[in-house]
Amino acid sequence: MPGHFEPLPGGGAAVALDDVEISIIRSLAVQLLELIGPGPAEDAPDDPLAELFAEGPSEPPADPVLRRLFPDAYTDPEGTSKGGRVDEQKAHSAEFRRYTENDLRAGKRENALTVVRSLDALASEAAGAGGAVLKLTPQQSQQWLRALNDLRLAIGSRLEITDEDDTDLLYRLPDEDPRKPMVMAYLWLGGLQETLVTTLLP
């Protein structure tokens, strides 16, 4: 079980994590929460109707990581304008973003919070023992899977990874490269994500 997820009887998944691993994942999840930002309920009066009809932004985020997490729904793969096609796609993307981004942010926020909360509970169990076994319910496992994906997208964006060739280059980075710790986290999270996917397969 060390370093990879395994299935639990009755559903869910488990993985053994040491204190350092718990700290790293929690720190990354907290940074992701800070990047995503607070939800409407955290910075506005509690009004269910207002929250239901609240419109999100229509423009893509300025931060490249957020653009990766919340990409445009409609894009021209060739980046060329054909009879107003680009303008039309931008308008469709803006409309789609306006009515979906708030919900997407809320979902990503909840997934990251699930990671933080489960690790906080595990940290108290691991205190003095050097580590502990994280046990996730089926629902928590799905939330962890989505959060791990978001973390890798965020780190991959910072590392400017756009395709598989970029990933191959990461393995050849010298130890003195300042990106090395981030690369190690990216690859490690990828391994966790892969074993969690395998665990959750029917």
Mean local confidence (pLDDT), 168-173: 78
Q: Positive or negative CA dihedral for 170, 175, 177, 180?
A: positive
If you average pLDDT over residues 55-79, what whole number do you get?
72
For residue range 100-145, list pLDDT tens digits in order.
778 888 999 999 999 999 999 998 776 677 789 999 999 999 999 9
3-state secondary structure of 102: helix
pLDDT tens digits, one per residue of 72-85: 776 654 444 444 56
Confidence band, pLDDT 50/70/90 cuts, at residue 61: confident
Q: Which of 160, 156, 142 is nearest to 185 (CA)?
A: 156
Measured CA to CA, the distance from residue 72 to residue 99 in angstroms comes to 13
